[in-house]
Amino acid sequence: MAGRSGRPGWLREPDPLQNPLGSRLAILGAIVLVIGGGAATLAGGADPASGLPTSTAGDSVSTAGDSVSTANDSAELASWYHGSEGLRARVATDVAAARAYLAAQDGASLQPVCVSLGTDTQAALTAPVPPTVAAQARFDAGGRDYAAAAASCKQLFDGTRIQVGVLQQRIAASLADGDREWGALAALIGQPMATASPPAASGRSG
């Protein structure tokens, strides 16, 4: 007698879920497939929870590249800083002298120092620049401040109609600003800032 499916009953394949032994074998096979698939997923570098690929190799390479770049920047900055030492020392000598003569109200000695400060600052600003953006910003800002001090100092002697006290305040402020910027530059590079001792008092005023 044929079953409702149209096939003879003796041709019907046994349902493994209706057979206790077959049911256990089917469940065991499903577990093996799940475990095997999870292992393959992990071996392939995917997240077992989301199935998305994961990788840390690229991150490691990127971090290593940043470290090398930082090390290279430090070496280049140190090399540039030592190479510019002569120029910065000349500016530091001018700054120390200008500050001392300004405090002593020694105009005769101050005038040539201001000219020297302007010349040396211009030479520093047109020399090879620092190799990083941050260092160049500090170096240029300090150079502009020293140049501003030299320009205000020049106005003390060229007949500019600005009160002497105002010009002297501008000189002192610009020198302090330049020191602050070049001090920050030295700290950024991890090297000492160029400094100079003030000249011996001349005893003159004018």
pLDDT digits (tens, 9 = 90+) for 4-37: 555 545 445 555 445 554 555 455 555 545 455 5
Tokens found for residue 89: 């020392």
- Tens digit of pLDDT for each residue in 73-124? 889 999 999 999 999 999 999 999 999 999 999 999 999 999 999 999 999 9
* Start-to-end Cα distance in the chain: 134
DSSP string, 90-131: HHHHHHHHHHHHHHTT-HHHHHHHHHHHHHHHHHHHTSPPPS
- Tens digit of pLDDT for each residue in 50-71? 554 454 444 433 333 333 357 7
> What predicted TM-score, i.e. pTM, was given to this entire model?
0.65
Determine if residue 45 is left, alpha or beta; phi over 0 gives left, psi from -120 to 50 gives alpha, anything else beta. Answer: left
Cβ pair 143, 107 in contact under 8 A: no
- Tens digit of pLDDT for each residue in 166-176? 999 999 999 99
Tokens found for residue 42: 């992990």
pLDDT given for residue 33 in this prediction:
52
Q: Tell me the pLDDT of the chain averaged across its residues.
A: 78
pLDDT given for residue 42 in this prediction:
45
List CB contacts of 2: < 8 A, sequence separation 6 or more. Answer: 8, 9
Q: Is 33 helix (H, G, I), strand (E, B) or coil?
A: helix
Domains and CATH numbers, the chain: 85-189 (1.20.120)
